[in-house]
A = this chain, B = another copy of it.
Amino acid sequence: MTPARSRRPGAPTRTERGIPEATVARLPVYLRALTALSDSGIATASSEDLATAAGVNSAKLRKDLSYLGSYGTRGVGYDVEYLRYQIAREIGVTQDWAVVIVGIGNLGHALANYSGFGTRGFRIVALLDADPKLVGERIGDMVVRDFAELEAIVAADRVSIGVITTPAGPAQEVCDRLVAAGVTSILNFAPVVLSVPAGVDIRKVDLSIELQILAYHEQRKSGEAALTEVPELPATMNGQIDLPSVGGGVGA
């Protein structure tokens, strides 16, 4: 995900005590599963139990956990509370991370109201928007503040994570301001590819991309019989393409 980080040809892919990226992405899932088990009063769970709760295969889960260390007891399983704490510590949610949300439209609103903000570990310290009509509005127990205050807020509250919920247009500029202010992790909901300097992590959440991926598979399901398509248009058509009015060619 982070394109930068110039990697030497011979350098180890897995950094010093580094956990594979695929595993990192699953740790939060395990954490949630453990919390659920804990809430159900279950004190011990086998890798099979945990894997089922997390929706993965048990061998994968064991291998993932083995990167953290050797918690767990052979012949018995994992102590739920103990493992939960270890994973939480490894992820870093035993401490609180300050978060700002920029762009208080529909989605920003929704995230601001998202009580609990996932699990603990994150604290929204400011809601920012450049629109004067929004500034001052109360959302839950917070007030929307002017985007111009960004730098002061980031410095004062040691903000390291920024969430971008603006439209596509201003997203890159917002991103640049966040980075300049000292934010080093960004969660981007705007439908654009943001570019950031090395050392800044970006993750992207994109509704329309998810839907399109579903559409692709959906199309293959329904279109399994009718594979007559692929009209094999002349690949070289002098540049002039006359695009059959999107939706014409394929009969449903």
Q: How distant is A249 from chain B, measured CB to nearest CB, in Å?
A: 7
Contact B239 A73 (CB under 8 A): yes
Per-residue 0/1 for A40-70: is the Cβ within 8 Å of any B Cβ (1 yes, 0 no)? 0101100000000111000000000000011
Question: CB within 8 Å of B: which of A15-44?
Answer: 17, 24-25, 27-29, 31-33, 38, 41, 43-44
Residue numbers in B under 8 Å from A106 (CB-CB): 109-110, 113-114
Task: Report how many copies the assembly holds.
Answer: 2
Contact B90 A28 (CB under 8 A): no
Complexed CA–CA distance, A84 and B99 (Å): 37
Stretch at the interface among A6-14, A75-83, A129-137, A144-152: A75-83
Contact B24 A161 (CB under 8 A): no
Residue numbers in B under 8 Å from A217 (CB-CB): 24, 185, 201
Contact B89 A184 (CB under 8 A): no
* Sample of 15 A–B contacts (CB below 8 Å): A38-B247, A55-B195, A71-B235, A72-B235, A79-B243, A85-B247, A91-B216, A92-B212, A99-B211, A109-B110, A122-B208, A160-B218, A161-B215, A185-B214, A185-B217
